[in-house]
Structure 1
Amino acid sequence: MSELTTLARPYAVAVFKAAKEAGNIQEWADMLEFLKQVMADPLMQRAASDPKAGKDRFIAKFLDLCKGHVIPEGENFIRLLASNGRLGLVGTIADMFAEFRAEEEGYVDVDVITAYPLEESETTNLNALVEKWMSRKGRLHVTVDESLIAGVVLRAGGRVVDASVHGQLQRLAKRLSN
């Protein structure tokens, strides 16, 4: 994971800087998220790393596949990544771009995993808690996982808070086994 981050960082920094200067951060964010989804497919990963395919041929096919989702500046970016055998980094680049954007805009993305759907008042309270915790406004991404039994797990900016019953039971079991 850290190796991917190390490899992806220069690309993410350069792309974010260019997007900021051009005033098209949203367009870059949308494109990177799309590319991340495309490259998440195992067949696409295999095709991107297949030496028999030929880089130029693969790039042409890839750009054709992504037509309508790639901004003009993005074509050169894709060519650069593919030529350097780094197209597989696009997911990490997209994630880092989103982090840079959040930092720039003064919020933090927070993955919230709950045992049950949250009511509006709970979401409001959770947002206030996140703002205190992270010293920035939170943008919550809520998912439900009934295996938590009750409670919540928060993930933001490399931090994790597990306040779920499932997590408490795991910690208790670990202490009892020692």
Structure 2
Amino acid sequence: MSDVTTMARPYAKAVIDLARESGESLADWQNRLDLLAALVIYPPIRQALENPRQTADQHRQLISDALGPELGPQGINLVSLLVENGRLLLAPQIAEVFSALRAEAEGSVDAEIITAVALDPEQERRIVDSLAKRLGRRINLKTRIDDSLVGGAIIRAGDLVIDGSVRSQLERLSRALVH
């Protein structure tokens, strides 16, 4: 786990707890965190946030002006806490960790399948069914095409990685032949 993720985790957990205590939906908080993350990586905003001449109050005001209504009072409080602790630029990692914690809390897991060619709906369904059975959770599948795989697929779901790509098989064969 990277240091950045380690620093983001307590904030993501706190937001999960806050959402539960206040009765707000995790999906609403995910939207808020995703908006904040997108804003802080936007180059002109990031440049302003990294400017040492800008004060913490100016940072809070910048975010509030841009996203105040979308973030709501609790979201603005989170922004204030992040600014106070010098962690505002961790917003993308906080959103990412929150997403994983949310999936866990909701009994689902995000999975990604990377293939050389597009899968048909039946193939996707079989993969989702197989992963759901193996992991005992609901699967949120995202697909991506990477023609450098040559064939086969790479599946990532939580900590599970299944690399059945032709590219990795060729790399293993090449290493075996060299040794």
Q: Where does residue 49 of structure 1 map in the other structure?
A: 50
Does structure 1 retain, via aligned residues, the 8 Å contact 2:8–2:94? Answer: yes
CA deviation after TM superposition for structure 1 residue 43, in Å: 4.1
Q: Percent identity?
A: 37
Which runs of 5 or more residues in structure 2 are unaligned? none
Does structure 1 retain, via aligned residues, the 8 Å contact 2:68–2:76? Answer: no
Q: Distance in 2 between matches of 1:44 and 1:134?
A: 40
Q: Map 1:102-113 to 2 at 5 A.
A: 102-113=103-114
SS in 2 for 1:161: strand
Q: Where does residue 163 of structure 1 map in the other structure?
A: 164
Q: Where does residue 94 of structure 2 map in the other structure?
A: 93
CA deviation after TM superposition for structure 1 residue 120, in Å: 0.9
Q: Where does residue 144 of structure 2 map in the other structure?
A: 143
SS in 2 for 1:70: helix
Q: Deviations over 1:10-59 (max 9, x none)?
A: 11111111112222222111111112222233443333232111221122
Q: Distance in 1 between matches of 2:83 and 2:7?
A: 14
Does structure 2 retain, via aligned residues, the 8 Å contact 1:152–1:163? Answer: yes
Q: Distance in 2 between matches of 1:18 and 1:32?
A: 13
The amino acid across from 2:170 in the alignment is: L
Which runs of 5 or more residues in structure 1 are unaligned? none
Q: Distance in 1 between matches of 2:177 and 2:79?
A: 52
TM-score (norm 1): 0.91
Q: Deviations over 1:81-135 (max 9, x none)?
A: 0121101111111111111111111110001111111111011101012113322
TM-score (norm 2): 0.91
Q: Where does residue 14 of structure 1 map in the other structure?
A: 14
Q: Distance in 1 between matches of 2:27 and 2:72?
A: 11
Deviating 4+ runs (over 4 angstroms): none
Q: Distance in 2 between matches of 1:117 and 1:141?
A: 12
Does structure 2 retain, via aligned residues, the 8 Å contact 1:131–1:137? Answer: yes
Q: Where does residue 134 of structure 1 map in the other structure?
A: 135
Question: Per the alignment, do residues 136 and 10 of structure 1 end up closer, same or farther by CA in structure 2, a change over 3 Å counting?
Answer: same
Q: Where does residue 4 of structure 2 map in the other structure?
A: 4
Alignment size in residue pairs: 178
Q: Where does residue 116 of structure 1 map in the other structure?
A: 117
Q: Deviations over 1:115-160 (max 9, x none)?
A: 1111110111010121133221211011111111211111121221
Does structure 1 retain, via aligned residues, the 8 Å contact 2:148–2:167? Answer: yes
Question: Per the alignment, do residues 143 and 60 of structure 1 end up closer, same or farther by CA in structure 2, a change over 3 Å counting?
Answer: same
